[in-house]
A and B are shown apart, each in its own frame.
Chain A
């Protein structure tokens, strides 16, 4: 049966490019790439990469910002849940923060840069009346050599992701009863949550957390926009080598890509050791009977942290929008002297084409991903299979192996096949990252669907296929469209696969925005980044509105019901 092949197809798409890519960098990293005259196996290029000026610093920046990003965003999210879960503030802030997951990395980073730069909005808002600045101060905030701006950009981007993952893990943690039990024993809200709910929540979000560690240690687009430049984080350095006119640097780049694996792997091992230490510490503290009932300061700090992070993302998008329609906007004015659409008009051609390309790639890869994932979950349902944790872990492989490392090997294969820069090659490269998220978005609602509806349909004489199309699909429309929107958002955000596999021939809003980020015109950059963040938002709004309109006379399906 065709359906049975779907899981195989999915695993091939997820794991195939990663394995092929990793295999593909080994040879050039060892100096073997006859096309470029490399015919001898040597460790020379590892030396070249490691001895390159600033290499140690590059690796260190990647390592520490990656770990710090993961630790800060996880601690904030966990403390926020511990301190506020079940309150009105929680409901409000969580429903404002989680959707920010859809705003692409590059747009978040550019928005943040527009906010915190010395000539950014935050300084303008308090100048000159509070600061006395008539000129932008001479501070190196964005692209600071230590990587704090990069860290900030990654933290505000990862918080919504971890919040989403934690929220979806909560229902399996029996939180309300455990909290009540802990609090009735006199435990404070935060410590009660941490000691009774957190362990089982963390067990479920472990892989997403590892994905954050891996991503943050090897990120390229955010690092180009916010990160240090001399030397840059390792992944950016590798990209520079790759696109250097001196072709021998390709060998250095391949060796660098392998070293990136080591840096990310090292960060993951560090994190894992940290997990052990925290668990051991936790176990020993739990036996002391400390109640920690006075946790007000901690609660307020977590609320402030999550609130500030959400505000920085939202404020960033607002300031992108503002710049894209700004007339004259001199420092230190808080607002432009007038709003105008003339930049949009003037750059319409320049903006329109990459937008269209991004939308085409996004729609295609999201549609393919949704079809494949539907096939896989339906196959599992019909055969009564519940995917094991081990199988689900495979989904995370493309999210944990650094993009830059395997894309690097993959591009060599793609070049050899002569399909670089083609639409479909880029779509397949996107699918590697789109499928896991579509699966994560669809699997739970699929399993939660009341199978008795399908039994009713079968008893009424309908085949399994008819029951699927006439009952399951329409009833799950909202969940399916939401999964589609997730896939679309992930595709829109892809920078490196689009750049490398697209070979620069398929520019999208994302590749253009990152390319313009270094010293480009803020108005054009604002327009690009605004479109980049608007596209996923449009997809999510459509995913909510289409079922709402279609089912406006169907009360059970109208609201944000059990199927979202």
Chain B
């Protein structure tokens, strides 16, 4: 099914655990828009992201639908949803080089050489060409966060989920990484769902905000 960029529709989402409501929400996120969901830890922010991404543990009961670019992905396995996710930690795969991480994300197809050129060109275009052969563990926190975003983007997602992705960065790096993420998401017209407890994130995102 061909998708058209019409955004991420969270349609009457209601998630419960043992009869207790964890989170309830209904909102359409337009392409290029950032919806910020604020809440303290334990407020069900991560549960919401897990539901959208397809990782909700079976113990939860969820109703409502997740419609991405007109396609109902609610029942799809995570790997078919084309929903990119960034966590608090960059989670670069430690057994692969930076380039290996990016190649892992790039959809299958093309010769080995073509794929290599594509990935190094992509890194190059962000001025990070020299990081390709590096061991991810030797990168700075800010570099790791950027590579993690590039890895998500290479998989050609239709939406982006951010789980407090800036909270572990140093204060001076946080602003630039934040800008990097939001600008790229806007440029690619991705609907973004950001969960955070940091007001500065919400302010930088500039979109609508919901508090849990």
Residues of A that sit less than 8 Å from B by CB? 383-384, 450, 452-453, 455-464, 470-471, 474-475, 477, 551, 553-557
Instruction: Check B104–A452 contact: CB distance below 8 A.
Output: no
Instruction: Check A459–B94 contact: CB distance below 8 A.
Output: no
> A450-B91, A557-B94 are known contacts. Are A459 and B58 too (CB-CB below 8 A)?
no
Instruction: Check B57–A460 contact: CB distance below 8 A.
Output: no
Whether B209 is near chain A, meaning CB under 8 Å from some CB there, is no
How distant is A429 from chain B, measured CB to nearest CB, in Å? 36
> A461-B107, A554-B137, A555-B135 are known contacts. Are A384 and B59 too (CB-CB below 8 A)?
yes
Give the residue of B53, B87, B94, B157 whose beta carbon is less than 8 angstroms from that of A475: B94
Whether B136 is near chain A, meaning CB under 8 Å from some CB there, is yes
Across the A-B interface, the 3 shortest Cβ-Cβ residue pairs: A556-B94, A555-B137, A458-B78
Instruction: Check B87–A456 contact: CB distance below 8 A.
Output: yes
Q: In the complex, what residue of chain B is closest to A456 when comparing beta carbons?
A: B91
Whether B177 is near chain A, meaning CB under 8 Å from some CB there, is no
Residues of A within 8 A of B54 (CB): 458
**Known pairs A551-B95, A554-B95 / 7 extra A-B pairs, C-beta < 8 Å:** A459-B53, A461-B79, A461-B82, A464-B77, A475-B94, A555-B138, A556-B135
Instruction: Check A459–B91 contact: CB distance below 8 A.
Output: no
> A459-B152, A460-B152 are known contacts. Are A471 and B93 too (CB-CB below 8 A)?
yes
Bound: A461/B95 CA distance, A: 19
Instruction: Check A460–B137 contact: CB distance below 8 A.
Output: no
Whether B151 is near chain A, meaning CB under 8 Å from some CB there, is yes
Give the residue of A459, A554, A556 whose beta carbon is less than 8 angstroms from that of B84: A459
Instruction: Check A460–B155 contact: CB distance below 8 A.
Output: yes
Q: In the complex, what residue of chain B is closest to A466 when comparing beta carbons?
A: B79
Number of A-B contacts (CB under 8 A): 79
Instruction: Check B91–A474 contact: CB distance below 8 A.
Output: no
Bound: A405/B29 CA distance, A: 68
Bitwise, B89-103 to A at CB < 8 A (1) or not (0) is: 101011101000000
Q: List 15 contacting pairs A-B, 8 Å CB cutoff, sorted by A.
A: A452-B89, A452-B91, A457-B93, A458-B79, A459-B78, A459-B84, A460-B79, A460-B84, A460-B151, A463-B77, A464-B79, A477-B95, A551-B95, A553-B97, A556-B136
Bound: A452/B55 CA distance, A: 10
> A452-B87, A453-B91, A556-B94 are known contacts. Are A459 and B135 too (CB-CB below 8 A)?
no
Instruction: Check B95–A460 contact: CB distance below 8 A.
Output: no
Residues of B within 8 A of A450 (CB): 91
Residues of A within 8 A of B135 (CB): 553-556
Whether B83 is near chain A, meaning CB under 8 Å from some CB there, is yes
Bound: A461/B54 CA distance, A: 12
Bound: A475/B155 CA distance, A: 21
Residues of B within 8 A of A554 (CB): 94-95, 135, 137
How distant is A1 from chain B, measured CB to nearest CB, in Å? 14
Instruction: Check B58–A384 contact: CB distance below 8 A.
Output: yes
Give the residue of A452, A456, A463, A557 whose beta carbon is less than 8 angstroms from that of B95: A557
Bound: A464/B80 CA distance, A: 11
Instruction: Check A556–B85 contact: CB distance below 8 A.
Output: no
Q: In the complex, what residue of chain A is closest to B156 when comparing beta carbons?
A: A461
Residues of B within 8 A of A459 (CB): 53, 78-79, 81, 83-85, 152, 155, 157
Give the residue of B79, B82, B87, B155 whose beta carbon is less than 8 angstroms from that of A463: B79
Bound: A463/B54 CA distance, A: 12
Instruction: Check A453–B93 contact: CB distance below 8 A.
Output: yes
Residues of A within 8 A of B81 (CB): 459
Bound: A227/B169 CA distance, A: 63
Whether B105 is near chain A, meaning CB under 8 Å from some CB there, is yes
Bound: A551/B136 CA distance, A: 12
Bitwise, B135-178 to A at CB < 8 A (1) or not (0) is: 11110000000000001100101000000000000000000000
Q: In the complex, what residue of chain A is closest to B78 when comparing beta carbons?
A: A458
Bitwise, B41-58 to A at CB < 8 A (1) or not (0) is: 000000000000111011
How distant is A388 from chain B, measured CB to nearest CB, in Å? 16
Instruction: Check A456–B59 contact: CB distance below 8 A.
Output: no
Bound: A546/B204 CA distance, A: 47
Bound: A383/B57 CA distance, A: 9
Bound: A554/B57 CA distance, A: 32
Bound: A461/B87 CA distance, A: 16
Instruction: Check B107–A455 contact: CB distance below 8 A.
Output: no
Residues of A within 8 A of B104 (CB): 457, 460, 470
Q: In the complex, what residue of chain B is closest to A385 when comparing beta carbons?
A: B58
Bound: A308/B208 CA distance, A: 69
Instruction: Check A475–B107 contact: CB distance below 8 A.
Output: no
Bound: A441/B137 CA distance, A: 26
Bound: A557/B83 CA distance, A: 28
How distant is B171 from chain A, measured CB to nearest CB, in Å? 24
Residues of A within 8 A of B137 (CB): 554-556
How distant is B83 from chain A, measured CB to nearest CB, in Å? 6
Residues of B within 8 A of A457 (CB): 93, 104
Residues of B within 8 A of A475 (CB): 93-95
How distant is B59 from chain A, measured CB to nearest CB, in Å? 7
Give the residue of A455, A461, A464, A553 whose beta carbon is less than 8 angstroms from that of B53: A455
